[in-house]
Amino acid sequence: MKKDAETGLLSPKGVGTVLLRFSLGIVFLAAGMGWIAAPGEITGTWPPSVLVSACMHVLPFAALAVGALLVLGFCTRWAFLAGGLLLFLLALDMMLWQENTIVATSLACLMMAISGLWLAARGNPLSLDRLIERTSDRLFNMK
């Protein structure tokens, strides 16, 4: 009984996981839509412009995908991992441009992604992952 209270939907871990997942998912969705609506310019970059151009075309859709996966709670651990990688790369890029405010924000969101990854490994209420897990357990009589 104690185990259900610790990992259930209304437990602190459960509520924290859902809030973290939704908030970071909304951040990624908003960033992806913003990058699609107003793409940046490629001027004066140290990497080859072909590489920067490829990243600028892939990054908005990657952010949208990560945001959608986090909001829906599908492949949550992989979404947190991919989101953390995107945030880390953004922070590195902004360090080169000495955009300290963006670096600080990116690193704060990176800590949210790391925390979300840790929490999602310990229970993921209100998610498609949980629904799929329960359905497959019932189908195969595993529980």
Q: Are residues 80 and 116 in contact, defined by beta-carbon separation less than 8 angstroms?
A: yes
Backbone angles phi, psi at 80, to 5 degrees: -65, -40
Question: What pLDDT score was predicted for residue 4?
Answer: 47
| Average pLDDT in the chain | 83
- Tokens for 78, please give them: 């992989």
pLDDT (tens digit per residue) in 39-87: 765 555 566 667 777 778 888 999 999 999 999 999 999 999 999 999 9
Q: Which residues of 10-45 are buried (b: 16+ CB within 10 A; e: fewer)?
A: eeeebeebbebbeebbebbbebbeebeeeeeeeeee
> What is d(CA 66, CA 141) in angstroms, rounded to the nearest whole number?
32
Looking at the predicted structure, is the pLDDT value of residue 116 above 80?
Answer: yes
pTM above 0.85?
no
Question: In which band, very low, low, confident or very high, does the pLDDT at 25 lie, cut at 50, 70 and 90?
Answer: very high
Task: List the chain domain ranges.
Answer: 15-139
Predicted local confidence at residue 41, as pLDDT: 59
Cα of 120 vs its chain's centroid, Å: 11
What is the average pLDDT across 117-137? Answer: 83
Residue type, 119: L
pLDDT at position 127 = 86
